[in-house]
Amino acid sequence: MENDSLADQIVKVANWVTAARGVVIFTGAGVSTESGIPDFRSPGGLWEKYDPDDFLYQKIISSEESRRKYWKMHSELYYTITQSDPNPAHFACVELDKMGKLDCLITQNIDNLHQKAGLPEEKILELHGNSMKVLCLSCGKQYRRDEIQEWLENGIEAPSCEECNGILKPATIAFGQAMPQRETEEAVEKSRNCELFIAMGSSLVVHPAALMPLYAKEGGARLVIINLTSTPYDDQADLIIRGKAGEVIFSIVERVKKEVGKDLSGTTD
């Protein structure tokens, strides 16, 4: 598996992509870091500056002080994300979709960069939410994140809903908050029914999202893991590629284009 050259590995995965009716892609924090967004857990990440225990869901909904800290942290994240651009990993997923090869993309990331790259919203299953959206926890009204950022910059430290005065929270999953039911159920179904599952840029340690590759294997799919470091499910993989997600998946997609006779001159840069 890992003894093959990188070129051989890329050809092998490209052949699997070409043969598969549909491919499920799973992306984690490693894809975001390639766009300059630090992993929360890595050196320089937000958990070095903030205590995650302050952001337990029960604290957020019960304490205005916790909400102020939460919004302060999310303001830092907002500026990091809005100053970041999609990278080759994001664009490769778009190219797979244009070729009719992408069944869906399951992501742990909350940075909206898959959408920014041009992947249709209906193809994306966000298991940990989206930081560019804000929801009222009482009435469900949705706000644009940039609108709420204006409120924060104007001195409102813990915003509340204009409609019902309910608590506003970024549409991301906080510690202790339930996973989104529709997205999780659909991700499980898509994983169990795919022919090829490619996990990239994820350490596969955050559950239940990290179970998706196992569901794919249980359903008979081939599993490819693209990551710089080892994961708990390497022994389940049909192929492991040690490398940067963007470089590897984009090379695979270029190879697939050659195999289906498409002109590479239109590749997104």
- The percent helix, strand, coil of the chain (3-state, each to 5) is 45, 15, 35
Helix axes 245-259, 88-98, angle to 10 degrees: 30
The DSSP bridge partners found for residue 143 are 134
The DSSP bridge partners found for residue 172 are 129
Q: How many helices (H) and strands (E) does the chain have?
A: 10, 9
Q: Which residues contact 16 (CB under 8 A, 6 or more apart)?
A: 196, 222, 224
Cis peptide upstream of residue 208 (ω within 30 degrees of 0) = yes
207 counts as catalytic: no
Q: Which residues contact 100 (CB under 8 A, 6 or more apart)?
A: none
Q: Which residues contact 5 (CB under 8 A, 6 or more apart)?
A: none
What six digits make up the tokens of 186?
A: 């659909």
Q: Exactly one of 90, 114, 128, 207 is catalytic; name it.
A: 128
Which position has the token pair 């510690």? 175
What's the CA gap between 233 and 197, in Å, rounded?
A: 13
What's the CA gap between 269 and 266, in Å, rounded?
A: 9
Helix or strand (DSSP H, E) at 14? helix 6-19
The catalytic residues are 128
